[in-house]
Amino acid sequence: MATKPISTGAIPSGFDLDLEAAPPSILRRLHLDPPLLLGLLALCGFGLLVLYSAGDRNPLIVERQLLRLSLAFGFMCGVAQLSPVTLRNWSMPLYFLGVLMLIAVMLFGDIGKGAQRWLDFGFLRFQPSEILKLGVPMAVAWLLSMRPLPPRLSWTFLAVILILIPVLMIAEQPDLGTSLLVTSAGILVLFMAGLRWRIILALAVLIAAIAPLVWFFAMHDYQRARVLTFLNPESDPLGTGYHIIQSQIAIGSGGISGKGWLNGTQSHLEFLPERHTDFIFAVIGEEFGLTGILALLVLYLFIILRGLVIAARAADNYGRILAGGLTLVFFVYLFVNVGMVTGLLPVVGVPLPLISYGGTSMVTLMAGFGMLMSIETHKK
């Protein structure tokens, strides 16, 4: 390996580009990480291409998505300028801001579609749980980096409380998808901090024990229906099952090479519901085939591995475990969506990260990548 002694881990060198040897580039001075930036740009570019097809060649949809992407990239660049020390100092304030806003939603929120998730500021509606997708991992990283790693049991317990407070409030709204994502964000930071395997095992057993209780006492009827439909899609061909059946037909009929860009019959004859939002992965499968999907997955893998490299090379514990946690949450997004569309997981309303049409989660994701870049580029 041709890098500084700092990278002691056995990281595949392909992702560990040698940047320090060269004089600091412009990107470097802008606090942007070239490999990560390249990966993200490629991914979003591909996403726009697919969206043009999935949105029935409506330039308006592509235009709006481009606008959102620009905003999100701008946000990423902005966050990247902050030093990890600043991020660390802002961890708890951001966390509390998020929790306060959740309380505000409980008191004054809009009730939309049976779920109370939005704060209405008149000119814009805002989902406070988005803040906590960053606030929770940051707070947990802040807490755990105060003591030597791995965390002791009492500190683990504190971290779990930090995670549970907002998660229970979000689950109450009720928003199962987001509360799962926020929980995993916190737990993944704990994992990166070296949570002992036996505790992980104990947690797994605990979750297995609680699951039936959640099923019977905490879940809403529609949430139970989704899980049942997942187990047997044909049982509900008009509702959620229809989504699963149609998306599998779309992907399966794509074959190895796909039907070609703009030629997906499933997508364009409107058999595939939500094809430009949550189910856009099926459009990729149909039009670009297994080849296209593999290329896409390699792109995602590249971004994730680069994130893990940044985590391993970070200057302090806070940076390390935050970078690792955020990267792994990105992966969880990807897996939950792809798993849903391919029929591996139940239907949970999680978009395909950075590709699905829609804005709220995109800004949060890119802010997360901004933190990764900050952690990578502010080292002395």
Partner 1 sequence: MGEPSFEDRKREQRLVTSRAVVSGVLVILVLSVVVLRLRYLQMDRHEHFSVLSKDNRVKIQPVPPTRGLIYDANGVVLADNRPTFSLEITVEKVEDLKATIDELARIIPIDDKDRARFERLKRQRMRFQGVPIRLNLTPSEVARFSVDGYRFPGVDVRAELIRIYPLSEATAHVLGYVGRINERDLTQIDTGNYAGTHFIGKGGLEKAHEDVLHGRVGYQQVEVNARGRVLRTLEGSPPTPGQDLLLYLDMALQQSAIDALGDRRGAVVAIDPRTGGVLAMVSKPSFNPNLFVEGISQADYEALLHSLDKPLFDRAARGQYPPGSTVKPFIGLGGLNANFITPKKITFCPGHFSLPGQSHRFRCWKRTGHGSTNLEKAIVESCDVYFYDLASRMGIDRLYGFLSQFSFGERTGIDLSGELPGLLPSREWKQRVRKQAWYPGETLIVGIGQGSFLATPLQLAAATATMANRGHFIQPRLARASRFPGADTESQFPLVSRQMETIDSHHWDEVIKDMAQVVESPRGTAKRIRSPDYRIAGKTGTSQVFTIGQKETYDESKVSDRMRDHALFVAFAPVEDPRIAVAVLVENGGHGGSDAAPVARRVIDAYLGGTPLAGPVEASDGD
| Contacting positions for partner 1 (CB under 8 A) | 8-11, 56-58, 110-114, 146-150, 191-194, 237-239, 242, 248-256, 265-266, 269-271, 285, 289-290, 293-294, 297, 300-301, 304-305, 308-309, 311-312, 317, 320-321, 324, 327-328, 331, 335, 338-339, 342-344
Q: How far is the CB of 253 from partner 1 (least distance, A)?
A: 4
DSSP code for 8: -
| CB nearer partner 1, residue 96 or residue 108 | 108
Q: How far is the CB of 198 from partner 1 (least distance, A)?
A: 15
| CB nearer partner 1, residue 4 or residue 25 | 4
| CB nearer partner 1, residue 25 or residue 291 | 291
Q: How far is the CB of 75 from partner 1 (least distance, A)?
A: 25
| CB nearer partner 1, residue 72 or residue 334 | 334
Q: How far is the CB of 8 from partner 1 (least distance, A)?
A: 6
Helix H segments across the chain?
26-29, 34-54, 59-81, 84-108, 129-144, 153-172, 176-192, 197-213, 221-231, 240-254, 265-268, 280-313, 317-342, 360-377
Place of tokens 């620009």: 70
Place of tokens 């499933």: 266
Helix (H) or strand (E) holding 263: none
Q: How far is the CB of 40 from partner 1 (least distance, A)?
A: 17
Helix (H) or strand (E) holding 344: none
Angstrom distances, CA of residue 74 to CA of 60, 155, 270, 307, 378: 21, 36, 34, 19, 18
| CB nearer partner 1, residue 101 or residue 312 | 312
Q: What angle, 0 to 180 degrees and rounded to 10, lies between the N-to-C axes of helices 280-313 and 240-254?
A: 80
> Distance between CA atoms of 152 and 146, rounded to whole angstroms?
12
Q: How far is the CB of 49 from partner 1 (least distance, A)?
A: 19
Candidates 135, 146, 69, 96; CA nearest to 359 is 69
| CB nearer partner 1, residue 149 or residue 218 | 149
Helix (H) or strand (E) holding 357: none
Q: How far is the CB of 248 from partner 1 (least distance, A)?
A: 6
Secondary structure string (H, E, C) spanning 47-112: HHHHHHHHCCCCHHHHHHHHHHHHHHHHHHHHHHHCCHHHHHHHHHHHHHHHHHHHHHHHHHCEEE
| CB nearer partner 1, residue 73 or residue 318 | 318
Q: How far is the CB of 202 from partner 1 (least distance, A)?
A: 18
| CB nearer partner 1, residue 95 or residue 357 | 357
DSSP code for 125: E
> Distance between CA atoms of 87 and 145, rounded to whole angstroms?
13
| CB nearer partner 1, residue 163 or residue 329 | 329
Q: How far apart are the first and last CA of the chain?
A: 20
* Four-residue CA torsion sign, 283, 285, 286, 292: positive
Q: How far is the CB of 79 from partner 1 (least distance, A)?
A: 22
